[in-house]
Chains A and B, each alone.
Chain A
Amino acid sequence: MSLPSILIQLLNGLASASSLFLVSAGLSLIFGVTRIVNFAHGSLYMLGLYGAYSLIEALGRTPLGFWSAVILAALVVGLVGVAIEVLVLRRIYRAPELFQLLATFAVVLVIKDVALFAWGPEDLVGPRAPGFGSVEILGKRIPAYDLLLIAIGPVVLGVMRLLLKRTRWGALVRAATQDREMVGALGVDQARLFTSVFFVGAVLAGLGGALQIPREPANLDLDLAVIADAFVVTVVGGLGSLGGAFLAAILIALAKAFCIGIGTVHLFGTEIVFSKLTLVVEFVIMGVVLVLRPYGLRGKKPATPRTSGEIAPALTSPRWQVAACWMVLFLVVPLLGDRYVVVLLTDIACFALFAASLHFIMGPAGMVSFGHAAYFGLGAYAAALLFKRAGLPMEAALLLAPFCAGLFAVVYGWFCVRLSGVYLAMLTLAFAQISWSIVFQWDSFTDGSNGIVGIWPSAWLSDKSVYYYMTLALCGIGIVFLWRVLFSPFGYVLRAGRDSPLRAEALGIDVRSFQWAAFVLAGMLAGLAGAAFAFSKGSISPSSVSIGQSTDGLVMVLLGGVETLTGPVVGAALFTWLRDELARDTQSWRAVLGLVILLIVLLFPQGLVGGLKALIGRWREARA
C-alpha cells in the first residue's frame, strides 16, 4: 500500500467508525443502566435509515430537508425506543436475568415485518447529502460527507460526556451504571430514568442509522448486520464506557478498512487474502481483547459481581410418573401421526438436547453462552466430515462427533470460564463466529457456504420412524444424563459457583475447573444434537454454526424458563413447532411469531414452565 492509500483507508475506517460508535454508545448506555441486552438495537438503527429516507422524500432533497429529516428520524426512533420500554420491557424488569433479551428478540421480528409492510422489500437508496461533493486528498477523491461523519463521532462523544458529567440526569445514569440498587435507594423514579435512557439510546441508534442514508440503502438486513457489530464494539470498549466504545469502533473499522486495503498478500509462498478476513476480523479482535483484558479496553470490573437481587429457585427433578407419561407419548405418536410428525419430532428432539445443554451451563452454572451453536454446528460438521471425508460408517461418525465438538469446547471453554457475565457470553460468541467463518470459507474441506450434502443415515436407519426412535433415545439419554448430573455433587458445585464464587473458593472448590468441565460436557452434548440433526437432514451448512442458531437456542431456553429443568425442552418443542406452524403463512409469519413470543413473555415472565408452575402453585394455595 502506498502512503496516500494508507491515508485514504484510514479516513474510510474513521468514517465507518462514526455510525458504529453512535449505535454502540446507545447500546452501552441502555445496558449500563438497565442491564438489558437490547437485541432490538439494530432494528432501531434500521428504522433510522428507513425513517430518514421517507422524511427526505417528504421534506425535499435540500440541505434543510436533509438535515431536518435526519434529526427528525432520530427523534422518531427515540420514541419507538420509549414505546418498546414502556409497553414491553417495563413489565418484565423483575424477570430473571436475560429474559428481556427474549422480549427484544421478539421485537426484532415484529419490526422487521412492519418495515417490510411499510416500505416494501426493495432496497431504498437515499439521496447523497446535498451540498457535499467529493474532495481530493493526495490525488484521491473521497466523499466530503465522510469527513463530516469523521467529525460527528467525537462531537457526539463530547456532548454525551457533558450530559453525563454536568446534568442531574447524567449523574443518575452514572450512578445506576455503577450500582443499580443504589438508584432505587436514592429515591429516584426508576421507571422515568429507564424510559429516558431508552429514549437517548434509541435516538443515538436512530441518528447512527439516519446519518448512513447517503452511504447505504435502507434494507431489511440491516438490523441483524448491525446488532452483532454493535455488541462487539460495546464489549471491546468495555460496558458502560462511551470512550471505550469510541475507541473500539475506530479500532474495528480501521482493522476492516486495512484488511480490505491490504488485499491479497503472498507470504512465504502462501496466499493470504486479507479482504476475506473482513467477515470475522471484529470477532478476532474481540476474542483477543477479552482474553487480554477481561472487561474490555476501558471497562471496569463491576463493583458487585452479583448477577441480580433475586435468587434462583431450587431445581426440582421431574417426577418419574410424568416423565414416563411423556415417554409413552413420544413413543406412540409416530404410530398415530404421519411421516411428517415424525420428522418434526426428530427436529424437536435434537433441539431439545441442544437447548438442554445450553441450559446446563446457562442456568445452573450461570455461564450464558451467545455462541452455543459452535458446538452444535461443529458436531454436525464433524459427523459429516467423518462420514464423507474419513469414510467412517455413519454410526461411528455419529458417536464420535460429540468428542470432536467437545475438543473445541475444551479449547474455547478454557478461555471463556476466565470471564463472567456478558463478557463471557460475548467471548463465546467470538469463538462461535470464528468457527463459523472457518467453516464458511474453507471450501476445500467444508465445502464452504454450500455446506456438505449427501450425509444420509445407514440403511437400517433410513426409515424416518426408526431414525426418530434412535434420535429420541440418544437425545433423551443426553437430556436425562444432564439432569442427573445437575443433582450430583458436580451439578451442585456448578450452582454453588454461580451463587457465590467467593464462598465456593473458600470451601476449597476450584470453581473454574468445574465450569470448564461443564462447558465441555455441554459442548459434547450439543455436538451430539448437531450430529443427529445433520443425518436427519442429509445435509449441513454453515447456518448451523451461525449466530441465528445460537439465538434460537437462547430463545428456546428463555421461552421455556431458564430456572426449570423441563423449561428448555418445552421451549425447544414450542419454538420449533410454532415456527414450523407459523411459517406456513409465508406472508407475515415472522411478525406473528414475534407477537406470540411477546405474549408469552408478558404473561409468563419466568418462562412458560416457570410460569405454569407458579400458576399451579397459586391455584393450589387458593384451594387449600
Chain B
Amino acid sequence: MLTRNHLFTGAAALVALSLGGPAGAQEPIKIGELNSYKVFSAFLEPYKKGWEMAVEEINASGGVLGRKIEIVSRDDNGNPGDAVRAAEELLSSQKVAFLIGTFPSNVGLAVADFAKQRKTLFIAAEPLTDKIVWEAGNAYTFRLRTSTYMQTAMLIADAVKLNKKRWAIVYPNYEYGQSATAAFKKLLSAKQPGVEFVTEQAPPLGKIDAGAVAQALADAKPEAIFSSLFGADLAKFVREGQQRGVFKGVEVFNLLAGEPEYLDPLKEEAPEGWYVTGYPWSEIKTPEHAKFLAAYQAKYKDYPRLGSVVGYSTVMSAVAAIKKTGSLDQYKLITAMSGLQHMTPFGNVTYRALDHQSTMGAYVGRIAVKDGKGYMKDWRFVDGKDALPSDEEVRKMRPAN
C-alpha cells in the first residue's frame, strides 16, 4: 500500500545522494580539509581564519601552477568514523588533490591510516600525538605542528636548570596528556638522575575537579609541577590553585599555556612565572611574522592565535609541495614533501625525510601579567629541529615503509 510513496522518497533520497558532489570544472586545485570545528572551536575558529587568509594570498598572487586553489572544508565532529567518511567524500566526490587538517589525536591517526590506504598525501596540521610520525607513521602522512614530545623537550632545559627534586604531574587523561607526561618523565630522568615524581593526577578532559586536584597536588608537597592542561581545565586549575596557595614557592611548567587561545581567557589571573610554550604574537619581530601579523590584523581586525598560524602554514605547506612537484601526482607529492622547505610566520620549516615531522618551532617563556592581561616574557624561539630525538631513536620507533 505504501509502495509508491516508499519508492518515491527512496528515489529522491538516492538521487540527492548521487548529486551530492558536483563533478565540477577542474579549474581550481581543490584541497580537502577536515577538522573538529564544533568540538574544539576555541582553537579551530582562528585556525580557519588562518587558512582562509592563506588561500586569499595565494590566489591573489596568481595561484599555483597557474591555477587558483580552493579548500573544501568538512567538520569531522571530533569523531574518527565521521572523519574517515568525510575524507572519503572529499576524495571521491569533491575530487580533492589531497588532505590536510585534523585536531584530536585519534582523528589524526585514523585519517593518517586512511591516507595510507588510499595512497594519498595527508598533511596533519594540528594533532600533537607523537605516534602519527613515529610508531604509527606512514609514507603518506606529514605533520606540521610542533609535537607533544618536541614541546616537552623544549621545556626540559629550564626544568633541569632549576634542579628540583620533587615533581608533581597533572595531565588530561588521553593521548596528548599521557604522552606529554611520559616524555617529560623520560627526558627529565635522563638529564637529572634522582628526580622524584611524587604524585600524578589524570583528570578527564574537560571535567577536572580542580579544587580536589589542586589540593591533592599540594598534599604531595612538590617543589615543581609539570602540567599539560589546557582550555577550561587549565582555567579552573589556575584559579583553584591560586586561591589555595598551591603555587606558592612551587615552579610550574605547563605545555601550551602560553598560547593565546588558552592564556587570554585567564586575563589578570594568568599565573605569573609559569614556564610555558606558546605564542607571544605581539612581540615577535621577524619580518615573516610581521608580514603575517599585519595582514591578519588588517583582514580580521583581530589578533592571530596560534591556531591562525597553524592554519595559515598548513596551506602554505600544501602549496609549496604542489609548486615543488609541479603536478598533483600522489607519488611525486609525497616525494616532494620529504625534505620540503618553506617559509612560515615562525620562520623556515623543513619536513624531515626521516619521519615526516616538520621542524616548526615554538616559543618558550614565562607568563607575566600586564594591564590585566597575561603575556609571555623572557621568551625565546626554539627551532623544532633542536627538540627532536636522535635519528637513530626515531628510526627505532618508526616502522619502515
Contact = CB atoms under 8 A, between A and B. Distances in A.
B231 A219 contact: yes
Contacts of A581: 16, 20
Interface in A596-623: 612-613, 616
B175 A583 contact: no
29 contacts: A5-B215, A12-B212, A125-B239, A128-B243, A143-B240, A215-B210, A215-B240, A217-B235, A256-B209, A260-B215, A263-B200, A276-B173, A325-B6, A329-B11, A344-B89, A448-B178, A450-B109, A450-B131, A451-B109, A454-B113, A537-B85, A538-B84, A544-B81, A579-B82, A580-B85, A581-B20, A583-B74, A586-B75, A589-B75
Contacts of A589: 38, 75
Interface in A1-36: 1-2, 5, 8-9, 12-13, 15-16
A580 B45 contact: no
A341 B18 CA distance: 6
B338 to A, nearest CB: 22
Q: Name, among B74, B85, B109, B236, the residue most crowded by chain A CB atoms within 10 Å (CB to CB).
A: B85
B232 A543 contact: no
B215 A9 contact: yes
A322 B202 contact: no
Q: Name, among B74, B175, B215, the residue most crowded by chain A CB atoms within 10 Å (CB to CB).
A: B215
Interface in B64-112: 73-75, 77-82, 84-86, 88-89, 91-93, 105-106, 109-110, 112
B390 interface: no
B206 A125 contact: no
A15 B77 CA distance: 33
Contact of B212 (A9, A216, A341, A533): A9
Interface in B97-153: 105-106, 109-110, 112-114, 117, 129, 131, 136
Contacts of B23: 338
A448 B175 contact: yes
Interface of A: 1-2, 5, 8-9, 12-13, 15-16, 112-113, 116, 120-125, 128, 134, 140-143, 146, 214-217, 219-221, 225, 256-257, 260-261, 263-264, 273, 275-276, 278-279, 319, 321-322, 325-326, 329, 333, 336-341, 343-345, 347, 440-441, 443, 448-451, 453-454, 456, 464, 533, 537-544, 548, 573-574, 577, 579-581, 583-584, 586, 589-590, 612-613, 616
Contacts of A260: 201, 203, 209, 212-213, 215-216
Contact of B73 (A343, A586, A613, A616): A586
B80 A125 contact: no
Nearest to A350: B81
B215 A590 contact: no
Interface stretch (B263-271, B314-322, B349-357, B358-366): B263-271
B37 interface: yes
B158 interface: no
B260 to A, nearest CB: 9
**SS of B interface (majority):** helix
B339 to A, nearest CB: 26
Contacts of A273: 200, 202
Contacts of A537: 80-81, 84-85, 110, 114
Contacts of B202: 273, 275-276
Contacts of A533: 81
Given A122-B42, A275-B203, A543 B79 contact: yes
Q: Name, among B37, B110, B210, the residue most crowded by chain A CB atoms within 10 Å (CB to CB).
A: B110
Interface in B180-214: 199-204, 206-207, 209-213
Interface string B361-376: 0000000000000000
Nearest to A133: B243
B41 interface: yes
Given A450-B105, A537-B110, A344 B85 contact: yes
Given A540-B81, A541-B81, 4 more contacts: A128-B243, A142-B243, A341-B14, A586-B38
**SS of A interface (majority):** helix
A261 B80 contact: no
B178 A583 contact: no
Nearest to A347: B85
Nearest to A216: B236
B383 interface: no
Nearest to B79: A543
Report the 6 A-B pairs with minimum CB-CB distance, sorted nearest first. A121-B41, A337-B18, A340-B92, A449-B174, A339-B92, A539-B110
B236 A343 contact: no
A316 to B, nearest CB: 10
A441 B80 CA distance: 17
A319 B17 contact: no
Nearest to A144: B243
B28 interface: no
A556 to B, nearest CB: 15
A595 B204 CA distance: 31
B218 interface: yes
Nearest to B48: A586
A543 B89 contact: no
A221 B235 contact: no
B10 interface: yes
A538 B110 contact: yes
A334 to B, nearest CB: 10
Nearest to A2: B219
Interface string B35-62: 1011001101100100000000000000
